[in-house]
Amino acid sequence: MTADDSPDDREPKATDSDADRAPRTDGSGTDSGSAGTSDDADGEIDSDSKHEQLEEVRENAEGEYLTTDHGVRVTDTDNSLKAGERGPTIMEDFHFREKMTQFDHESIPERVVHARGTGAHGYFQPYEDPDLGEYDDVSELTKASFLQDPDQKTPVFTRFSTVVGSRGSADTVRDVRGFATKFYTEDGNWDLVGNNMPPFFIQDAMEFPDLVHAIKPEPDDAIPQAASAHDTFWDFASLKPETTHMLMWLLSGRALPRAFRMMQGFGVHTFRLVNEEGESRFVKFHWTPKLGTNQLVWDETQKIAGNNPDFNREDLYDVIDEGYAPEWELGVQIVEEDEADRFDFDLLDPTKIIPETEVPVRPIGKMVLNERPDNFFAEVEQVAFHPGNVVPGIDFSNDPLLQGRLFSYQDTQLNRFGSANWDEIPINRPIAERHNNQRAGFMRQEINEGKASYKPNSIGDDDPQEATEAEGGYEHRAERVDGRKIRNRSESFQEHFSQARLFWNSMTEPEKQHIVEAARFELGKVERTEIRERTVYDLFNNVDHEFAKRVAEGIGVEPPEEPGDEMPTHDREDPSLSMENRTPETIETRKIAVLLDDGFEDDHVSRTVSALEEENARVKIVAPAFGEREGADGETVEADESLSTAESVLFDAVLVPGGGDSVDALEKQGDVRHFVEEAFKHKKPIGALGEGTELLESVDLPDVDVAGDGEGPTEPTGVVTCRDDGELDAFLEEFVDAIAEHRHWERDSTDVSA
């Protein structure tokens, strides 16, 4: 639906000045309350609308003179104005003063949580034929206009983040990831401010400052950075059993995503969808990545943090630059209001999920991120989200965590920007028109015409007018609320272990082992024995007895003899919780290192590179040094990376082509052997052709039958070899399958962190 062809009941309300009133988006350019006309001449919102709005504030210095902020051309920006060549600087030097003042003020407070992040532009598009099961049409669920028309693309900006670390911390730490999306809809901005894990640690916003104080660096020495593995966090967690479910997620591979484009997103809270008839249903929002969910292993994350602390940030921009726009499906879990009580948990409790075995996720549209920002500060740092930014058709529930967030985000933006006008910053400005009587404050951008900045007024025809619900006005759902003021926790919020156990039960053995090893690391870093014991006895032993024993054995705590009193006995599983069930059969965007030197087998390289690229993998030639490399038959390739810049941890798979001279040269390099050994240790697929197989033999990979002499395991290990060029096609097929599998956990399921 477009602003121009909105149905009659959404026209502005009838008054004498009707003829002057502009459509809901400021495409006409008339009476534009929002500085920066954004959309097409016909007022229609499309995927370019935000881009066009931002175009008005973009600046490009190419071929231009250097000027002061006030537009005066500058003759010399290296030397301050002095009284004599060796004399003191003169106050009159306006260029020096301005340059220095700008510099002195160019940092703003970082976000108190989620300080480290990155973002990209894109669009959201409802599906043509949404699989809505009992609902034929999304309009039965919600009147949100941007969800209705499959031809309409609504611009979005999404910011991904870690939570705990400061702005300069590494990307690959063990942490929750933020997943916040601003939809610039024709009805105003909707911010879906979620995480990559569906439950949360606590149940009431009142506890949030305590949670954050506990997990952030400790207050006396500001150690450790970007880590939950320390006393104060586990002290807090062990005293709050409601954290248990989320702790299981935090200890799992979900906390080490391979890429932002390979992680799910969740709105976490139960929200409401409301249709034109005013009917409301509960909803949970899900983002599902088209590329599936994939994780790094712990040892790898530590090395990447040193080798490339911008690993996830860079990955997002690299794939966009290389033409692969990451994509997620937006899905909803719908619960009728009168069915809210049918669950064994409270829908308002944010430490709980709705298992997909109970309510399936229905896809309703897709998000594509296809444009990187031009300026990190102006766009990624200044983007400001607020869960209270909703549009008609989307409403809140009484989840006490959500209710508190509705205060906190507006407040935190005041701290970050020092002004209530943060919504006027271009990246935050809606495309929908804005008209109200707010027109002052620090850094006001808009120039509001007219004398009357109050209501009611007769001087300005009483404009701007309030809209009725039929005219698109936001009407809060008239939920009946009746209660006494009370400060306590509902009885329905008191069970904390059942879903933690569901999560544990749903893991594969390598995933369980990952959780155990992560817990051993985290608690191993905890100095106080009583905190380690409390976590094992009071939390983990109430999830699963075996789990608690396995952790205890690794951290010097006496393993519990009996299961905890509160341990649920159910053996329910939900396959959707295991990342292993979410690995798609595609190798699209996987980064594959081809290790070679002069004398490589030309045919091996050309055929494998083209076969892998055909599958949309990103192939990088890694040679001992940068520059051109010549094959045995004279073909040349350019090295994308050298052994000084590339390590196996930065790749998803390794291929060693044949060619005697090439392999001989590689074999002499310790870095090459380390590359292959480490890729193996991290369970990555490895391919070798011809003489390349000798390289694998020389590094002596454990339990792999590289020699092909039957001395070794026969089960698949993700190491694919080919000695006969006649079998190259079969090799390629097998290698692609091995890459699609992502990691080969069966190599050694007792050593997941590697």
Residue 148 vs 412, nearer CB to ligand HDD: 412
* Bridge partners, residue 257, by sequence: 295
- Choosing from 139, 357, 412, 698, the residue that interacts with ligand HDD (CB under 6 A) is 412
Using CB under 6 A, which residues numbered 268 to 307 contact ligand HDD?
268-269
Tell me, yes or no, if 114 is annotated catalytic: yes
Question: Of the ranges 125-133, 215-223, 402-410, 520-528, which one interacts with ligand HDD (CB under 6 A)?
Answer: 402-410
Instruction: Report the alpha-carbon distance of residue 567 to residue 546 in Å, rounded.
Output: 12
Question: Of the ranges 318-326, 405-413, 672-680, 737-745, which one interacts with ligand HDD (CB under 6 A)?
Answer: 405-413
- Choosing from 144, 170, 193, 752, the residue that interacts with ligand HDD (CB under 6 A) is 193
- Choosing from 66, 72, 108, 112, the residue that interacts with ligand HDD (CB under 6 A) is 112
Residue 145 vs 203, nearer CB to ligand HDD: 203
- Choosing from 347, 401, 502, 519, the residue that interacts with ligand HDD (CB under 6 A) is 401
Q: Does 111 bind ligand HDD (CB under 6 A)?
A: yes
Residue 95 vs 111, nearer CB to ligand HDD: 111
Q: Does 195 bind ligand HDD (CB under 6 A)?
A: yes
Q: How far is the CB of 502 from ligand HDD (least distance, A)?
A: 19
Instruction: Report the alpha-carbon distance of residue 120 to residue 681 in Å, rounded.
Output: 33
Are the C-beta atoms of residues 414 and 441 closer than 8 Å to each other? no
Pairing of β 154-162 and β 177-185: antiparallel
Q: Which residues contact 148 (CB under 8 A, 6 or more apart)?
A: 1, 126, 138, 139
Q: How far is the CB of 402 from ligand HDD (least distance, A)?
A: 7
End-to-end distance of the chain based on CA atoms, in angstroms?
53
Q: Does 208 bind ligand HDD (CB under 6 A)?
A: yes
- Among candidate residues 121, 189, 195, 386, the one labeled active-site is 195
Q: How far is the CB of 468 from ligand HDD (least distance, A)?
A: 32
Q: Does 165 bind ligand HDD (CB under 6 A)?
A: no
Binding mask 430-469 for ligand HDD (x = CB under 6 A): ----------------------------------------
User: Measured over all CA atoms, what is the biggest interatomic distance in the chain, rounded to whole angstroms?
Assistant: 94
Cα dihedral sign, 194-195-199-205: negative
Question: Of the ranges 78-86, 106-114, 227-235, 539-547, which one interacts with ligand HDD (CB under 6 A)?
Answer: 106-114
Size of the site for ligand HDD (CB under 6 A): 26
Q: How far is the CB of 9 from ligand HDD (least distance, A)?
A: 35
User: Other CB atoms closer than 10 Å to residue 481's CB: what's the count?
Assistant: 6
Counting Cβ atoms within 10 Å, is residue 340 exposed (0-12), middle (13-18) or buried (19+)?
middle
Q: How far is the CB of 117 from ligand HDD (least distance, A)?
A: 5
- Among candidate residues 95, 114, 230, 742, the one labeled active-site is 114
* Closest-CA residue to 295 (of 515, 443, 624, 571): 515
* Closest-CA residue to 605 (of 615, 596, 616): 596
Residue 267 vs 658, nearer CB to ligand HDD: 267
Question: Of the ranges 105-113, 293-301, 508-516, 709-717, which one interacts with ligand HDD (CB under 6 A)?
Answer: 105-113
Instruction: Report the alpha-carbon distance of residue 688 to residue 730 in Å, rounded.
Output: 13
Report residue 123: phi and psi, to 5°.
-145, 160
Q: Which amino acid is at 359?
A: V
Q: How far is the CB of 373 from ligand HDD (least distance, A)?
A: 13
Are the C-beta atoms of residues 354 and 397 closer than 8 Å to each other? no
Q: How far is the CB of 110 from ligand HDD (least distance, A)?
A: 9
Owner of token pair 């983990």: 540
- Please give the sequence-ordered ranges of beta strands (E in DSSP) within 99-244, or none if there are none: 117-126, 154-162, 177-185, 188-195
Q: How far is the CB of 163 from ligand HDD (least distance, A)?
A: 8
Question: Of the ranges 360-368, 397-405, 446-454, 571-579, which one interacts with ligand HDD (CB under 6 A)?
Answer: 397-405
Are the C-beta atoms of residues 584 and 292 closer than 8 Å to each other? yes
Q: How far is the CB of 408 from ligand HDD (least distance, A)?
A: 4
Instruction: Report the alpha-carbon distance of residue 407 to residue 5 in Å, rounded.
Output: 36
Residue 172 vs 351, nearer CB to ligand HDD: 351
Using CB under 6 A, which residues numbered 236 to 275 contact ligand HDD?
268-269
Using CB under 6 A, which residues numbered 331 to 350 contact ligand HDD?
350
What secondary structure letter does DSSP report for 113?
Answer: S
Instruction: Report the alpha-carbon distance of residue 573 to residue 582 in Å, rounded.
Output: 15
* Bridge partners, residue 721, by sequence: 688
Instruction: Report the alpha-carbon distance of residue 487 to residue 202 in Å, rounded.
Output: 16
Are the C-beta atoms of residues 352 and 301 closer than 8 Å to each other? no
Question: Of the ranges 27-35, 403-411, 472-480, 679-687, which one interacts with ligand HDD (CB under 6 A)?
Answer: 403-411
Pairing of β 641-642 and β 618-623: parallel
Owner of token pair 């940068």: 626
Are the C-beta atoms of residues 273 and 142 closer than 8 Å to each other? yes
- Choosing from 45, 54, 141, 180, the residue that interacts with ligand HDD (CB under 6 A) is 180
Report residue 575: phi and psi, to 5°.
-60, -25
Question: Of the ranges 109-117, 130-138, 449-457, 539-547, which one interacts with ligand HDD (CB under 6 A)?
Answer: 109-117
Q: How far is the CB of 208 from ligand HDD (least distance, A)?
A: 4
Q: Does 403 bind ligand HDD (CB under 6 A)?
A: no
Q: Does 409 bind ligand HDD (CB under 6 A)?
A: yes
Structure tokens given for 98: 């301005």
Contact residues for ligand HDD, defined by CB under 6 A: 111-114, 117, 159, 161, 178, 180, 193-195, 200, 205, 208, 268-269, 350, 384-385, 401, 404-405, 408-409, 412
The residues carrying an active-site annotation are 114, 195
